[in-house]
Structure 1
Amino acid sequence: MLVQSLLGEFLYEAEGTRKLLNAIPDSALDYKPAEANWTTAQLASHIAEVYNWYQPTLHQDVFDMATYKYDKGDITKAANIVAKFEENVLLAKAALETAKDEMMFAEWKMVMGTADPIFPPMPRIQVVRGFLFNHLYHHRGELVVYLRSTGNKIPALYGPTADDKF
């Protein structure tokens, strides 16, 4: 029941992520609001990458970021980022569909090449909600600001936006 509930939210929110990534024009990919920030392309690529973390988060008790490898591909075109998202979202969906409710309460931790956790170990369900879901929503919010700052329209995610006619 728990995994099914997570899967429902995952599917709904993946559609919103898809709409947002599809709204990025190539002309906005190099934009970044400040020197310390990622470019739009880097941020969008990171959003697509979060879906690549579902398998190790749901099916490993320890996620070692020191050994994690990810090929983001060519991020010079928005369509390439969307294609990577589509690839990763299918893998994430499969990882979630094969998860079991009882796995959600097992302790999980992230490390960086040692046994010492990067942050305190916690039940997997907390990691799914925070590290996967909420983390993604945070970055989608940033991307909305990037798009708005570059004069682009924002797709409706939770209802109409200022770009929609009422």
Structure 2
Amino acid sequence: MGIKQGFLVELDHETNNTRRVLERVTDEHLNYKPHEKSMTLGNLLGHVVELHNWVADGLPQDEFNLATDYKPFKPTSVAEIKDALESGYTKNKETVENMSEEEWMKTWTLKAGDHVISQVPKIGAFRFIVYNHLIHHRGQLNVYLRLLDIPVPGIYGPSADEKM
């Protein structure tokens, strides 16, 4: 199995996990904030989805500059979030399928203006700048669900709400 086949498996798995979280929320939950320093649930969902979509929006480039390339996704409905995840999934899959093994090894730079945050091979950017980052924030979403008394979906095994 090559790099792209492995990433396609992960792309499917993680997108499905995010879908399962999205199935649990409604528009009435989007303005919920557990703390004044926290993002709203809607903005956090938007961030998770935009991180998914960095596969197609960011990795094909050799440099991603947060000052010029990043436009925060501020959704206003669950339907908008679901649509962004689904349309992004299609583009993400095409992006991974079309990247050569050599492309995965090319240096990818994350910047904020002139400041270099990270320079890693694209394979590393996929793993820790995109996926580990989105998994972290999806974990936060599950805490929001728990605080709202919404059953938490199992992600890597059954949750306490799914155990018999």
Same fold (TM over 0.5): yes
| TM-superposition CA deviations, 1:87-120 (whole Å, max 9, x none) | 2222112111111111122111012333x41x23
The residue number in structure 2 matching 1:15 is 16
Say how many residue pairs are matched. Answer: 163
The residue number in structure 2 matching 1:79 is 79
Deviation at 1:32, TM superposition (A): 1.0
Provide the rounded CA distance (Å) in 1 between the counterparts of 2:29 and 2:97: 35
| TM-superposition CA deviations, 1:68-99 (whole Å, max 9, x none) | 254736x3322221122112222112111111
The residue number in structure 1 matching 2:64 is 63
Aligned amino acid, residue 113 of structure 2: G
Deviation at 1:165, TM superposition (A): 4.4
Provide the rounded CA distance (Å) in 2 between the counterparts of 1:104 and 1:164: 38
Q: Which segments of 5 or more consecutive residues in structure 1 lack a partner in the other structure? A: none
The residue number in structure 2 matching 1:99 is 99
TM-score, with normalisation over the residues of structure 1? 0.89
1:32 aligns with 2:33: yes
User: Does the Cα contact within 8 Å between 1:105 and 1:124 map onto a contact in 2?
Assistant: yes
Aligned amino acid, residue 45 of structure 1: G
The residue number in structure 2 matching 1:145 is 143
1:158 aligns with 2:159: no
Worse-superposed segment, 140-149 or 78-87: 78-87
Worse-superposed segment, 49-58 or 7-16: 49-58
The residue number in structure 2 matching 1:109 is 109
Provide the rounded CA distance (Å) in 2 between the counterparts of 1:90 and 1:70: 20
TM-score, with normalisation over the residues of structure 2? 0.90
Provide the rounded CA distance (Å) in 1 between the counterparts of 2:87 and 2:146: 27
Worse-superposed segment, 7-16 or 143-152: 7-16
Worse-superposed segment, 29-38 or 77-86: 77-86
Give the secondary structure class of the aligned counterpart of 2:37. Answer: coil
User: Does the Cα contact within 8 Å between 1:33 and 1:146 map onto a contact in 2?
Assistant: yes
